Structure 1
Amino acid sequence: MWQIELGELDEKMGVRILEESPERVVATMPVDGNRQSLGLLHGGAMVALAEAVGSWAALKHASTLGKAVVGVDINATHHASGRAGSVTATASAIRLGRTVCSHEVVITDDAGRRLCTARITNMVVEWSAG
């Protein structure tokens, strides 16, 4: 099984994992430090968060097979803007296969309002550490 750790970008953005399994990963991220020039939560920050939690869940699955994952597709729809507080991203498995994993990621604000819906697909691959 792989040692799964947050990446440098995730740490800079303040991502914190709250729950983790191949089927579901939940994480939070502060709005502060992740805003665009108009003072709203940056859409790219939400996509990066979605990729982080979706990939984390896929890697949890692939590690049980002795493999790793690489992202092959992500898409996102922004529904509303975050302004303050934090956001929560929940990745839910759509498919956990031997070669492909797909997750839906829903990002909400502190009031539970949906800000973004994303779908990420990861390819399961052989990987050697080192």
Structure 2
Amino acid sequence: MSNSDWKIVLGELEKKMGVEILEESGNRVVATMPVEGNRQAFGLLHGGASAAFAEALGSWAAILHAGPGTTVVGVDLNATHHRSATGGTVTGVATAIRLGRTLASHEIIISDDQGRRLCTARITNLIVRGE
């Protein structure tokens, strides 16, 4: 099976968060997530929801890059929250920074319905090959 035959499978958290995949490859993953249901007590998109969304996108891209017989494990995640949202849908775009044999790094940009950047994240995943 080629890497292009792989399809992302949503986990329990992504399903609860309402994530929908629009595009998927090792170089780029695009998905959306509703703000409703992912807000904190003050009515703003929760920063933890943004971080979890970013981690999911970057990890999916890394496993699509790594291919069959592999697992990926996030070893570093950082996120800068530039602004928040109170409604609508956010879009996350994970773009490869470096795709290696043992490490894959992706930048994830999360934007609101007006295209304004809400969050910039970066994740590095360790690629674990099957024994």
Q: TM-score, normalised by structure 2?
A: 0.92
Q: Is the 8 A contact 2:23 2:30 kept in 1?
A: yes
Of residues 79, 83, 93, the one that matches 1:80 is 83
Q: Counterpart in 2 of 1:107? A: 110
1:68 deviation in Å? Answer: 1.8
Q: Counterpart in 1 of 2:62? A: 58
1:104 maps to a residue whose letter is: E
Identity among equivalent pairs (%):
69
Of residues 33, 39, 43, the one that matches 1:35 is 39
Alignment partners' CA distance in 1, 2:47 and 2:102: 29
1:63 deviation in Å? Answer: 1.2
Alignment partners' CA distance in 2, 1:104 and 1:14: 21
Equivalenced residue count is: 127
Q: Secondary structure at the match of 1:122?
A: strand
Q: Is the 8 A contact 2:7 2:24 kept in 1?
A: no
1:19 maps to a residue whose letter is: E
Alignment of 1:91 onto 2:94: yes
2:14 maps to a residue whose letter is: D
Which consecutive residues of structure 2, in runs of 5 or more, have no partner in the other structure? none
Runs (4+) of structure 1 exceeding 3 A deviation are 1-4
